[in-house]
A and B are shown apart, each in its own frame.
Chain A
């Protein structure tokens, strides 16, 4: 995937050209969705976060430094959107449980390649929002506990505790979900 934007896209987005907006949307749809799916409880809510992020991109494109990869800026926007999503859903989030995992539509293409990714997404989405957000920020994005505490407005201890419980839940779900075959190359 190309991390930088072409001059045509850069100029078009700056002028608010709808065709260029669509090109950009298409180009980074998969990248953006892969981030949002991990933070939301289902696909619809992932799309909300994604669209919120794109809206910020289009409305504040003047803040983008074209010397840097677009993915870096876009990722940051999406994570901010995910934190907003966390704040608004915190009080009403429920532990869905494996039996209620929402089905992610099987869209056909490269199913074999994506299968494990989709399994993982289903499991992560089944986590309570507190655990899910902390796990994503720590394990996938690489933030430390102090940074997570600042971002989410929690204590460092709570962040550590949520991460620990997230891992416990994940292990449990991977076992229950007969994902014991999941493996990594331990070289």
Chain B
């Protein structure tokens, strides 16, 4: 039984149209696939940007340099210790060999590497002095500068059998006899127990804040975003450090005409806001260091973890009327080591542990950022306070 449309109730009308719309055979149009291919060509996932391959090669090189620096920093410590010991030994031996009766002792020959002596050497020196005194031998105070003194044979120290100490034997055999002889009750070598202002701390933590200027093209910089974060810096040596941290960034940017987001028609304009967790990994070099000041250059790679992206896309429809499309994406785009960092900074110590720093930075993406694969560049100045542990 058939029923006229005008006499159908609501449900019958709905069912009629639903049945009519089910599984129709719409002929395939090959040209439509051609249009789809063009869209696919423009949306190949994360687009590589800004000389990606060269920068990747550079990054590998940087990691190599970093590793080498670490190796040097680690093993140079042991070498320095060895050098110090051998310097002391050779200086002492030289003194011993060079002194003969009636010769003149010049204090220049007695120049120990005083500044470099560490606690261990101090202990060694002190031990020898103590033994000298305890055995009631004449203790010979150090000669005075450019002073001619009489020399005399000194009895060999008893009980010095250790091979390392034999080098002192010759020195102990002779020595000047000062008329004002007295027991030296202070160490001849002065050790500086006060820490230097720019002492070498291994780790520093910091708080950072910065305005952020992001743009896809340099002539389209809107109102600034901001960065807030914490940093952790590990010093590989006095001049090299590895810096990382977590930065919560809010970036605002806009763009003119372009293609975005799957619609085959280009947009007339774009406004974007995104909230990002940024994890930088930078290597820093401090080429200039004063008593309170430091200058550094910094470079490395950042990872962007996009927490939220909000876009307004402005189009024109077929009649030429403008319309907009709002897009909000949450947690959909991550770019691990996809951004190159370059920075130049100044740091000033305000106390033994605290320092203030300012670091202008530039972020250059190596892959397309966010849902729209945007070439989103950022710049700003990090202001921070740093605490040396």
Contacts and interface: CB of A to CB of B under 8 A. Distances in A.
A175 B32 contact: no
B18 A139 contact: yes
Contact of B4 (A44, A170, A183): A183
B23 A184 contact: no
A42 B318 CA distance: 11
Max count, chain A CB within 10 A of own CB: residue among B1, B8, B262 = B262
A121 B12 CA distance: 18
A55 B40 contact: yes
Interface hub of A54, A109, A117, A184 (most chain B Cβ within 10 A): A184
Interface stretch (A4-12, A23-31, A143-151): A23-31
Contact of B16 (A1, A84, A121, A182): A182
Contacts of A34: 21, 23-24, 26
A108 B27 contact: yes
A52 interface: yes
Nearest to B29: A107
A92 B322 CA distance: 8
Contact of B13 (A52, A107, A121, A170): A170
Contacts of B262: 51-52, 55-56
A59 interface: yes
Contacts of A58: 40
A89 interface: yes
A120 B20 contact: yes
Interface stretch (B105-113, B159-167, B180-188, B323-331): B323-331
B319 to A, nearest CB: 8
Given A47-B35, A55-B262, A167-B10, A184 B28 contact: no
Contacts, number: 136
B6 A171 contact: yes
27 contacts: A29-B26, A29-B29, A29-B32, A31-B23, A48-B264, A50-B32, A51-B262, A55-B39, A58-B40, A84-B325, A89-B323, A92-B319, A92-B322, A107-B27, A117-B21, A120-B17, A120-B20, A139-B14, A171-B6, A171-B8, A174-B6, A182-B16, A184-B2, A184-B3, A184-B19, A186-B3, A186-B12
Interface of A: 1, 18, 21-22, 25-26, 29-31, 33-34, 37-38, 42, 44-45, 47-48, 50-52, 54-56, 58-59, 84, 87-89, 91-92, 107-110, 113-114, 116-117, 120-121, 124, 138-140, 167, 170-171, 174-175, 179-180, 182-187
Interface of B: 1-6, 8, 10, 12-21, 23-29, 32-33, 35-37, 39-40, 43, 45, 261-265, 315, 317-319, 321-326
